């Protein structure tokens, strides 16, 4: 298929809903057949004290949420000990931008996990956190990225991308990592032979044009580095934050956006329907609109659940795999960089 340009990508939204779904499904089947990937993972969010001011965020403790916390390394290691027993293969560690703790507090988390559990994949620090650590501790991006690798970070999650259009960014998260900086950090990470993901927060003040522009910018870097494993459209959650969006995006628009992204991002292998923000039910339907990955069991999650997502306690592995099977797909457990581990 020819590469889709901006105008044609926008027109995809006006296609018949099911015809668009079929196009994306054909593309998904060519890449992954009937397989739906997931992993057994645990999200850990070690601190919610934040120096930044994203209006969409309900997790940060500095504004609407009065309950500040910063976990000790011992508490984090207790969690990892527990999940290791339960078969988890990845910890996904994302925090707020805490100016009151040292760089060693951040890096020590990874170092201690990697030393005691070398078989567990550490996916940690969004580009927004890398930018914060670089500014706060007066280090270059290269220095922060090298320290991450030295201390045991294996891959980077895709958070902090939000919407790359600068005007929208100014409205929703002025003052944090810019789009250019976000891409610079991921480019440098890929140049070190490492993989990362990329997200898009949608369903708030952005337009369809902004979403396509977001995808085009990702496609451009991916052509150069090939370092993105997965694209993750995150459905904006409306509660407890300062954006004041009254009407959540419709399921129809979510599925269309999934399908459009599958077709536009022809060089990104995986499309994740992140059940945390879409609901499990819609994530299952998204399997027919281009999505081939449902993230993981998660066990506990604090960022999206603070804004209303029903994800605080993860999903049960048996229920999860049964749902994937009952919706007509083959649940395949993967590791963090998409090697297949087990067909369930």
Q: What is the rounded CA–CA span in Å between residue 83 and residue 78?
A: 9
**What part of residues 304-343 is at the interface with ligand V47 (CB under 6 A)?**
304, 307
**What part of residues 270-309 is at the interface with ligand V47 (CB under 6 A)?**
274, 277, 295, 303-304, 307
By CB under 6 A, name the one of 40, 124, 130, 232 that touches ligand V47.
232
Judged by CB, which is closer to ligand V47: 12, or 235?
235
Q: Are 262 and 8 in contact (CB under 8 A)?
A: no
Q: Which CB contacts under 8 angstroms, 24+ apart, belong to 143-147? A: 145/185, 145/188, 145/189, 145/192, 146/192, 147/103, 147/107
- Give the 3-state secondary structure of residue 93: strand
Pair of tokens at residue 21: 């779904």
230 assigned to a ligand binding site: no
* Alpha helices for the chain (secondary structure H): 6-12, 17-32, 73-85, 103-116, 127-136, 141-150, 166-173, 179-191, 208-225, 251-264, 275-278, 280-286, 317-326
**What part of residues 38-57 is at the interface with ligand V47 (CB under 6 A)?**
56-57
- Residues 169-198 vs ligand V47: string with x where CB under 6 A? ----------------------------x-
241 binding ligand V47? (CB under 6 A)? yes
- Residues 85-104 vs ligand V47: string with x where CB under 6 A? ---------x----------
54 assigned to a ligand binding site: yes
* DSSP notation for 224-249: HH--EEEEEEEEPP-TTSSS---SPP
Q: Are 99 and 67 in contact (CB under 8 A)?
A: no
**Per rule CB under 6 A, count of chain residues that contact ligand V47:** 24
Judged by CB, which is closer to ligand V47: 121, or 256?
121
74 assigned to a ligand binding site: no
Minimum distance from residue 232 beta carbon to ligand V47 (Å):
5
* Secondary structure letter of residue 211 according to DSSP: H
Minimum distance from residue 49 beta carbon to ligand V47 (Å):
16
Minimum distance from residue 109 beta carbon to ligand V47 (Å):
17
> Quick one: which segment of 61-69, 101-109, 138-146, 236-244 binds ligand V47 (CB under 6 A)?
236-244
Burial of 321 (0-12, 13-18, 19+ CB in 10 A): buried
Angle at 111 between CA 109 and CA 115, to 5 degrees: 120
By CB under 6 A, name the one of 141, 189, 236, 329 that touches ligand V47.
236
Judged by CB, which is closer to ligand V47: 158, or 290?
158
Minimum distance from residue 26 beta carbon to ligand V47 (Å):
25
Minimum distance from residue 150 beta carbon to ligand V47 (Å):
22
Q: Are 288 and 251 in contact (CB under 8 A)?
A: no
* Secondary structure letter of residue 203 according to DSSP: S
* Secondary structure letter of residue 272 according to DSSP: B
By CB under 6 A, name the one of 45, 48, 151, 237 that touches ligand V47.
237
**What part of residues 107-166 is at the interface with ligand V47 (CB under 6 A)?**
126, 157-160, 162
By CB under 6 A, name the one of 71, 91, 133, 234 that touches ligand V47.
234
Please report, for residues 204, 218, 252, 260, the alpha-carbon distance to residue 11 in angstroms, rounded to integers and kept in the order given.
Answer: 21, 19, 16, 10
173 assigned to a ligand binding site: no
Burial 127-162 (b: 16+ CB within 10 A, else e): bbbbbbbbeeeebebeebbebbeebbbbbbbbbbbb
The contact set with ligand V47 (CB under 6 A) reads 56-58, 94, 126, 157-160, 162, 197, 199, 201, 232, 234, 236-237, 241, 274, 277, 295, 303-304, 307
The binding site for [4Fe-4S] cluster consists of: 50, 54, 57
The binding site for S-adenosyl-L-methionine consists of: 56, 162
């Amino acid at each position: 298929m020819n590469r889709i340009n901006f105008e044609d990508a926008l027109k995809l939204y006006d296609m018949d809903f099911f015809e668009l779904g079929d196009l994306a499904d054909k593309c998904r089947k060519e890449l992954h057949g009937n397989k739906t990937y997931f992993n057994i993972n645990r999200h850990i969010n070690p601190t919610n004290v934040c120096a930044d001011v994203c209006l969409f965020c309900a997790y940060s403790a500095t504004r609407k949420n009065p309950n500040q916390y910063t976990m000790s390394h011992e508490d984090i290691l207790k969690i990892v000990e527990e999940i290791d027993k339960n078969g988890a293969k990845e910890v996904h560690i994302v925090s707020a931008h805490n100016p009151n703790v040292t760089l060693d507090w951040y890096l020590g988390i990874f170092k201690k996990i990697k030393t005691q559990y070398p078989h567990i994949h550490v996916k940690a620090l969004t580009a927004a956190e890398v930018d914060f650590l670089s500014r706060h501790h007066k280090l270059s991006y290269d220095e922060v990225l090298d320290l991450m690798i030295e201390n045991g970070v294996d891959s980077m999650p895709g958070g902090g991308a939000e919407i790359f259009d600068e005007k929208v960014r100014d409205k929703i998260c002025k003052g944090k990592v810019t789009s250019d900086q976000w891409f610079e950090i991921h480019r440098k990470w890929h140049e070190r032979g490492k993989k990362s993901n990329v997200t898009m927060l949608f369903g708030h003040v952005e337009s369809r044009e902004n979403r396509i522009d977001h995808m085009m910018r990702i496609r451009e870097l991916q052509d150069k580095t090939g370092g993105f494993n997965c694209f993750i459209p995150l459905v904006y959650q409306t509660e407890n934050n300062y954006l004041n969006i009254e009407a959540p995006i419709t399921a129809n628009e979510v599925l269309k956006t999934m399908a459009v992204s599958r077709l536009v991002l022809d060089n990104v292998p995986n499309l994740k329907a992140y059940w945390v923000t879409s609901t499990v039910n819609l994530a299952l339907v998204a399997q027919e609109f281009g999505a081939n990955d449902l993230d993981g069991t998660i066990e506990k999650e604090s960022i999206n659940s603070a804004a209303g997502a029903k994800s605080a306690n993860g999903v049960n592995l048996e229920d999860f795999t049964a749902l994937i099977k009952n919706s007509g797909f083959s649940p395949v457990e993967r590791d963090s960089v998409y090697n297949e581990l087990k067909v369930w």
